Structure 1
Amino acid sequence: MGMYVSIGEGTGWSASGGVFDCIVEATRGLFKEDEQCCLESIYAPLDEQGQSFIVLDYVDEVCFNLFYAYCKMAMDEFPFSQRAALIAEARVPGVLFGWSELLKIMQADPRYRESS
C-alpha cells in the first residue's frame, strides 16, 4: 500500500509503506519533548486518524523547517541505524533515493529556509 507525505497545496511525495515507515519514523524519533506540538500537527492523520499519510500543508515555517532538518538528519544517519540493519542491504540505496526526493520537494516549498 502506498503512503504519502502531503507537503503543500497539490504537492506531495508517495512511497511504499516500508520506505515511508523508515523515513517518517526515523524523523519522528528526533523531535524533542518541547517540539511535540509540531510533531503532533504533522503526524495527526497517521497517529490519530489511522490514515496512510502525514501532513505538512498547514504547519508554520518553524515546524516545516524543523521537520525538514530532522528528516535530513535521519537520512544522514540511516545507513548506520538499527532500522537499516533490518532491511536487505541492497534496499538501502533505494530508501535513501526516496528520502532525497522528499527533501528536494520540500526545498521547493516557500516555507523552506536553508539552515546555516
Structure 2
Amino acid sequence: MGMYIAISKNVGWGTSGGVFDCIIEATRKQFSGSQAGCMSEIYRPLDEQGQSFIALDEVDAHCFKLFYENCKLAMEKFPNSERGRFVPRDHLPGILWNWSEVLRLMTEDPRFLMVK
C-alpha cells in the first residue's frame, strides 16, 4: 500500500509502506519530549485517524522546520541505526534518495525560510 507525506496543499511525496515507515519512524524518534505537541499534530492522521499519511500541510512554520531538522538528522543516522542495519545494503540508496526528495520538497515551501 502506498503511503504519503503531505508537505503543503499541492505538494507531497508518495512512496511504499516500507520506505515511508523508515522515514517517518526514524524521524519520530528524533523528537524530544518538549517537541511532542508538534509531533502529535504532524502524526495525528497516521496515529489517531488510521490514515496512510502524515500531514505537514497545516502546521505552522516552527513545527514544519522542526520536522525538517529531525527528518534530516534521522536520515544522517539511518544507515547506522538499529533499523537501518536490518535493511539490505542494496536497498539503502533508494531509501535515502526518497528521503532526500522529501527534504528537498520541504526546502521549497515558504515555511522553510520563515524560521531560522
Q: Deviations over 1:90-116 (max 9, x none)?
A: 000100000000001000000003987
The answer for the alignment partner of 2:67 in structure 1 is: 67
**Which residue number in structure 1 is paired with residue 52 of structure 2?**
52
Post-superposition shift, 1:77?
0.6
With the length of structure 1 as denominator, give the TM-score of the two structures: 0.96
- Provide, for residues 68-104 of structure 1, a one-character-per-residue CA deviation record: whole Å limited to 9, x for no partner: 0000000011111111111111000100000000001
Match of 1:109 in 2: 109
- Code of the aligned partner of 2:79: P
Alignment of 1:80-95 (within 5 A): 80-95=80-95
Q: In structure 1, what is the Cα distance between the partners aligned to 2:114 and 2:94?
A: 25
Read off the aligned partner of 2:108 and give its amino acid letter. Answer: A
CA contact 2:2–2:52 (8 Å) conserved in 1:
yes
What is the root-mean-square deviation of aligned Cα atoms in Å? 1.4
TM-score of the two chains, using structure 2 as the length reference:
0.96
1:36 alignment counterpart: 36
Aligned length: 116
CA distance in 1, matches of 2:46, 2:105: 20
Structure 2: give runs of 5+ residues left out of the alignment: none
- Over 3 Å counting, the alpha-carbon distance change for 1:47 and 1:80 in structure 2 is same
Identity fraction in percent: 53
Residues 31-84 of structure 1, C-alpha deviations (whole Å, 9 max, x = no match): 011111100000000000111000001110000000000000000111111111
1:70 and 1:21 map into 2 onto residues whose CA distance is 15
CA drift at 1:22? 0.3
Runs of 5+ consecutive residues of structure 1 not aligned to the other structure: none
